[in-house]
Amino acid sequence: MQLHDVHQGIHRRKKRKRIGRGIGSGHGKTATKGHKGHSSRQGFKIGPLSEGGQMPLARRVPKRGFFNGAFKKDYAIVNLAALEACYEVGVVVDEAALRARGLVKGRHDDGVKILGDGALTKALTVHAHKFSASAAAKIAQAGGRAVVVQ
């Protein structure tokens, strides 16, 4: 081996395989698709969950229990740190005010829940559908009120 042979055949970008371009290319005639059958036809695509005749995983695994998602509560989550950053002392914070500031977006059927992540130093009156225990304690400690909306 010579020094100039070390990088022979190593290229930064691999060339694309040009299939179906004549017999001289080595990939002509059937264009690497074999003979006949649906896999040789145009537009053929195997589904992502296909396992080629083997029993699919979703059918091999036993099914247990049930999903009670139809009754799951859907709250918009707001942390105290966000309230601290967005509102001044003495302001009444409700769902409309939160939506105006962009803290609550989209549709949440069960309302707003306030969580206690972050510190609150301002006395705010917060109207929400639910409060975590730590959030209610921090709001009261700062001199504000946590009002539960029905």
The whole-chain average pLDDT of the chain stands at 93
Q: How many domains does the chain have?
A: 2
In this structure, the answer to whether residues 80 and 40 fall within a common structural domain is: no
pLDDT at 139: 96
pLDDT range class, residue 67, cuts 50, 70, 90: confident
Residue 29 domain boundaries: 9-44
In this structure, the answer to whether residues 78 and 143 fall within a common structural domain is: yes
Distance CA 61, CA 63 (A): 6
Residue whose pair of structure tokens reads 């083997």 in the numeric block = 54
In this structure, the answer to whether residues 36 and 82 fall within a common structural domain is: no
Residue 76 lies in a domain: yes
pLDDT at 10: 85
Q: How far is CA 58 from CA 15, 45, 52, 69, in A?
A: 39, 21, 14, 20
Residue 49 lies in a domain: no
pLDDT at 8: 85
In this structure, the answer to whether residues 84 and 20 fall within a common structural domain is: no
Residue 51 lies in a domain: no
Q: Is the pLDDT of residue 11 over 90?
A: no
Note the pTM of the prediction, 2 decimals: 0.58
Q: Is the pLDDT of residue 80 over 80?
A: yes
